[in-house]
Chains A and B, each alone.
Chain A
Amino acid sequence: MSVVRIPPVLRPSVGGARQVQASGDTLGALLDDLFTGYPVIREQILSPEGGLSRFVNVFVNDQDARFLQGLETPVAEGDTIVLLPAMAGGA
């Protein structure tokens, strides 16, 4: 099991939770497990083609998955997955 941290803008898609559990050997498998429980969040994290979105970054521990192996990035028990959308607010 890994912890997936949910940013505020995506929390409505997971029933308001700040973090949820999901499991899988790779990031792709783990996200599929996440989508099973929360199907709405899929389109916000993956592009329509099924790759990683260009406006929500996915970090495995503190590393951006785009610069690891993308959805093929191995995930180990206890890893933390961080979903990071851009935030614009400053006012």
Chain B
Amino acid sequence: MGQASQLLMRRVRKEVMEWDTAKVQRDLADGERFALVDVRETTEWNEGHLPDALHVPRGFLELRIEEAVPDKDQPVVLYCASGVRSLLAAETLKQLGYRQPVSLAGGYNGWKNAGLPTVLPRTLGDEQRKRYSRHLLVPEVGEAGQLKLLDAKVLLLGAGGLGAPAALYLAAAGVGTLGLVDADVVEASNLQRQIIHSTARIGRRKTESARETIQGLNPDVKVVLHDEWLDKSNVARIIADYDVIVDGTDNFPTRYLLNDASVIADKPVVHGSVFRFEGQVTVFKPHDGPCYRCLFPEPPPPELAPSCAEAGVLGVLPGTIGMLQATEAVKLILGIGEPLVGRLLTYDALSETFDELRVRRDPQCPACGEHAHPEDLPTYEEFCGLPVRSA
């Protein structure tokens, strides 16, 4: 260190508060409220850091600290490798208006040598960095968000009109596990809209066909096949492993069955449905917003609810709705934006208009209301006179 540097350090040391490892550890254990910021370079961070630390390399400190730690009144404990760079970083925070910047004496090395816990950060591989580079550039996603997506498990009910586009985009986005529930085989009449399948795969199981396309698109994705229709005996088991459910079924019995099971299991359902030129999308997040039974206490009679097989659908339409569902699923995983909870988005392809309707939680709802017993509700198999099938 040159003479000028020594003078600078001497001055900074007088102006900046330092805490030792024992105090920081004690305060962390006591749940004291402060921000812990690692100001080292990324290569150092990648070799290990303090638990719950934020990473803002010193070179980016002035540019990024306000985004990382918006509250300037709370203490901010900064650390580097040995406690020198963090002193300078703390000085910088003072200039930025932070009231209590603190430097961790001894830094990361002192902490580690004291036998205190450290964690190895999970990072993306080089191939993943390339693949997800456009996500990494978006601050709301970034590396942490991409890792969340890779850890996420999304169940798609139906590998059909809605499930096909949703599965493709979720796979491309790097959702690490996609479950597919469908017991159908690919038919020629599916290919007008179910773009995950192909002419060559007519006659093959939809789940296997979808898996082939997904793995061709993104080998990071683990595809779990459920070659069965959802029913009362398997619904709880199938949904248990997943974080988010994308509902692209084509019948009311399955929608009510899924609703009640997802309320019990506390799993968010991204709901989509289509009819000819029109579609609906919403998110049913148990106990945060309404559920399907709050919106539609009972299924309509069959003459008011023909399926796509009976009524037809514009091939592009489930693409639009399925992609909105995929968007909502990604938002739920990342915890960003305003999910469609309590809002029903309706889409009319002919007038090319979206409308939004408010959906309320019904306190009397038999599935999620105050005195609800979702485990005892009817499944409507007999009511609709329809077989329980999914897309």
The answer to whether B358 touches A8 (Cβ under 8 A) is no
Interface size in chain A (residues, C-beta < 8 A): 25
The answer to whether B357 touches A84 (Cβ under 8 A) is yes
Q: Nearest residue in B to A59 (C-beta to C-beta)?
A: B357
Interface size in chain B (residues, C-beta < 8 A): 52
A71 within 8 A of partner (CB): no
**Contact string against B for A residues 65-91, beta-carbon threshold 8 Å, 1 for contact and 0 otherwise:** 011000000000000001011111111
A56 within 8 A of partner (CB): yes
| Shortest CB distance A72–B (Å) | 17
Secondary structure dominating the interface of A:
mixed
A44 within 8 A of partner (CB): yes
The answer to whether B309 touches A88 (Cβ under 8 A) is no
The answer to whether B273 touches A89 (Cβ under 8 A) is yes
The answer to whether B300 touches A55 (Cβ under 8 A) is yes
The answer to whether B300 touches A91 (Cβ under 8 A) is no
Residue numbers in B under 8 Å from A66 (CB-CB) = 362
Given contacts A62-B357, A63-B358, contact A86 B277 (CB under 8 A): no
Q: How far is the CA of A89 from the CA of B304 in the complex (A)?
A: 12
Q: How far is the CA of A66 from the CA of B357 in the complex (A)?
A: 13
Q: How far is the CA of A66 from the CA of B274 in the complex (A)?
A: 24
The answer to whether B357 touches A55 (Cβ under 8 A) is no
B328 within 8 A of partner (CB): no
Q: How far is the CA of A51 from the CA of B242 in the complex (A)?
A: 40
| Shortest CB distance A43–B (Å) | 10
The answer to whether B305 touches A85 (Cβ under 8 A) is yes
B355 within 8 A of partner (CB): yes
Known pairs A86-B273, A87-B274. 6 more at Cβ < 8 A?
Answer: A8-B277, A10-B304, A86-B252, A88-B299, A90-B161, A91-B161
